[in-house]
Structure 1
């Protein structure tokens, strides 16, 4: 079934790559990845990939520049080694925040990164929960865009919260569509946190639209937790409006800057993210749980390799 399939892992998240390989029953390719003394990246494949269907597994999370550059070098290595097809598996796509010109003299960085990945020699992209769905259109090659929502919803279903006590909370107006999708799967009612920007660096979250939330369990969903400002602000609003318990679900746990300190001090019972990004040492507070996306990505890789439909996984 996998005679022509090759899995290659960069150094960004080797544990996830190993789990995907276990799901498929395919060993990871032998590869040497090292740094020269000046910081340049050295890559050498220790096996033949001529005519192979290659999948490069490399999220471009922190350190973003290092992981992105390593991905580009891996693509070039496989292209020059005569791989038949190169699919980049990027569970977390960095440089996604700037997806449009919202003021003068700024770049559209996500388009730039898409161009660079395409020009390096990639034939296809497999990713998950892009910060903005329109980034798929920045690539002039096929993109399979998966969603972590079913995995997160399955976890919260296992907690067995009665629908009469459940409120799905959108942390801002821009996340309403995501909250509605979770509400459709989990039931309950919908509430929206009214987030308003008070300055270029600060936002205010005080009002709650919808509900009621008093005495109920609140589930707050977002695509990522970066500095945790929005999530913690939403949790505090829910707590101030009487939520009995508060859970947080996010596709990507970036956890940079003051995120962990904020989350530790917030009125949150449990934080659930996927393992799209590795947790660095000391980044696992007691109330943080990680759910695996290896079966989701592994099944997508299997279907792409066999030229089968992938829409089953994200419809």
Structure 2
């Protein structure tokens, strides 16, 4: 029986290597990313060459489409084309972070739905299925004409919160930084048995917030802001300030995808937030890794298990439960 084979683009090689190590642990035999080169010509055209035989193999391309989004997207499509033309049996795009997901509808006249365009490109490139995590809008799964498995960071975050806030969970309040993220925050609050609050924000234009209001009583609470993407961190830091002004004793944030562009790291360093927890779905920059109040939780155990479940035809949705994930993360969050 053929083993699942992993191939990595340049977007997040440390995560690809971590997933390969987890697959080695599960399979009891050495698993390494397929030997290949993904390079650029002088005019920045992307060139891919796979050095191993992949005929009839079940291939998994590890490539988040993070910054630079266009380069990483083209790498994914060209790797997929190389594998398809090399007679791979099945190609799965493992995209821990799905770029262009924020452009999922026409909010104004004469604007694109870029998420749908990217879904079309992926479907037409020869990719047979997509494995991703915390899509900005879950309905993006419907943009694809191929199967899409959307994993959730919530059970990992819940395990982390139960460990970090052990003994004082009664002080914790989960906060959604906007009305649109209430469902995500409610799901996490339910997992740890905490109440829910909302910060209502109003924007005059993109990237600028004119007003914020706290809905709910946060006095004396340790507030945990939950969201899927943190880009420039303006909204996050402003929300933390508003919560402290409303009487919160401390503010922490759990964000799935740490895009953290521009002044984000500096803002977080100078913020009233005690900590920001992100996943490694996007490869952290040196500045992010060096920031003392940013902590990174690994996703490799979950993605490795999802790849194995896809390969052997078992349930991927079983990974939505904390009970299933706890043994996978055993040692990182030991049972007390």
TM-score range, shorter chain: over 0.9
Residue 116 of structure 1 corresponds to 121
Superposed displacement of residue 281, structure 1:
2.1
Superposed displacement of residue 282, structure 1:
2.0
The 2-side partners of 1:55 and 1:169 are apart by 36
Is this contact kept in 2: 1:129–1:146, CA < 8 A?
yes
Superposed displacement of residue 17, structure 1:
0.3
The 1-side partners of 2:68 and 2:21 are apart by 26
RMSD (CA atoms): 1.3
Q: How does 1:32-181 map to 2 (within 5 A)?
A: 32-159=37-164, 160=166, 162-181=168-187
Residue 190 of structure 1 corresponds to 196
Superposed displacement of residue 200, structure 1:
5.2
The 2-side partners of 1:200 and 1:127 are apart by 26
4+ residue runs over 4 A deviation: none
The 2-side partners of 1:242 and 1:204 are apart by 21
Gaps of 5+ in 1: none
Residue 304 of structure 2 corresponds to 298
The 2-side partners of 1:225 and 1:170 are apart by 13
Q: How does 1:181-220 map to 2 (within 5 A)?
A: 181-199=187-205, 201-211=207-217, 213-220=218-225
SS in 2 for 1:276: coil
Superposed displacement of residue 273, structure 1:
0.5
159-168 or 128-137, which deviates more: 159-168
Superposed displacement of residue 174, structure 1:
0.8
The 2-side partners of 1:114 and 1:221 are apart by 26
Q: Residues 154-197 of structure 1, C-alpha deviation per residue, up to 9 Å, x if partnerless? A: 11111115232111111111111111111111122221112112
The 2-side partners of 1:194 and 1:282 are apart by 30
The 1-side partners of 2:267 and 2:230 are apart by 11
Q: How does 1:10-21 map to 2 (within 5 A)?
A: 10-21=9-20
Superposed displacement of residue 241, structure 1:
1.0
Residue 276 of structure 2 corresponds to 271
Gaps of 5+ in 2: 25-30, 322-336
SS in 1 for 2:21: helix
Q: Residues 69-105 of structure 1, C-alpha deviation per residue, up to 9 Å, x if partnerless? A: 1001000000000000000000000011111112211
The 1-side partners of 2:74 and 2:39 are apart by 13
Q: Residues 210-264 of structure 1, C-alpha deviation per residue, up to 9 Å, x if partnerless? A: 12x2222111000011111221121111111121111100111000122112211
Superposed displacement of residue 201, structure 1:
4.8
The 2-side partners of 1:283 and 1:222 are apart by 18
Q: Residues 30-81 of structure 1, C-alpha deviation per residue, up to 9 Å, x if partnerless? A: 1012111111111110000000000000000001011001001000000000
The 2-side partners of 1:173 and 1:148 are apart by 19
| Count of residues paired in the alignment | 313
The 2-side partners of 1:264 and 1:4 are apart by 44
90-99 or 259-268, which deviates more: 259-268
SS in 2 for 1:49: coil
Residue 261 of structure 2 corresponds to 256
Superposed displacement of residue 4, structure 1:
3.6
Is this contact kept in 2: 1:6–1:54, CA < 8 A?
yes
160-169 or 226-235, which deviates more: 160-169
Is this contact kept in 1: 2:4–2:308, CA < 8 A?
no
SS in 2 for 1:156: helix
